[in-house]
Amino acid sequence: MSPPPRPKPDNLRQQRHDVHAGQYQIPCLYCHATVTVSSEPGIPTVQTCFGCHQLVTGGKRALGGSVSAPTDSAARAAEVAEVRKVLAAWIGKKPPEWVRVHALPGFVHFPHMRHIKALGTEACVTCHGDVRAMAQVSQVSTLKMGWCVSCHVQRQVGRDCTLCHY
């Protein structure tokens, strides 16, 4: 049985991939720093967030956000609200409460580092879609076994069950 579809992360941290990876072209590996050495992609730390957000502070942009502020006041308020959530985590010395969008059943393992080493950093798009164009990340692929196997067949790589089921 497949896990239920994952909800979009609208109640906690809403990291704007379209702004960070798209508009500012920040590479996936900047925020997901452990992806080349770990089976997990690595969730950004609050220090990673404020490494940049401190640099864009000052004046009317005291909470950071994108360098070119949205002209729409509602969009600006939403942007500031998201940065404030991360700021609160930093002040409270707590990790950001990211919502996991791409989840696999417990009996399946997806070693990110193997895929990145084999396909390079553009491999992220294969499973996650073009997050550079997503204001809110959502699951674009089924991530079911048949979908994964078809990718392995297409690339002529291993299909041994124990590669993913261990």
* Every domain of the chain and the residues it spans: 17-163
**Alpha helix ranges (H) inside the chain:** 17, 28-31, 46-53, 73-91, 112-119, 124-128, 145-155
Name the residue with tokens 């069950």.
Answer: 161
* pLDDT tens track for 45-54: 888 888 888 7
Q: What is the pTM of this model?
A: 0.75
In whole angstroms, give the CA distance from residue 137 to residue 101: 7
* pLDDT tens track for 143-153: 999 999 999 99
Residue 108 has a pLDDT of 94
Residue 75 has a pLDDT of 76
Task: Choose between 7 and 114: higher pLDDT.
Answer: 114
Could you give the angle at which helices 73-91 and 46-53 cross, rounded to 10 degrees?
130
Q: Is 68 exposed, middle or buried (0-12, 13-18, 19+ CB in 10 A)?
A: exposed
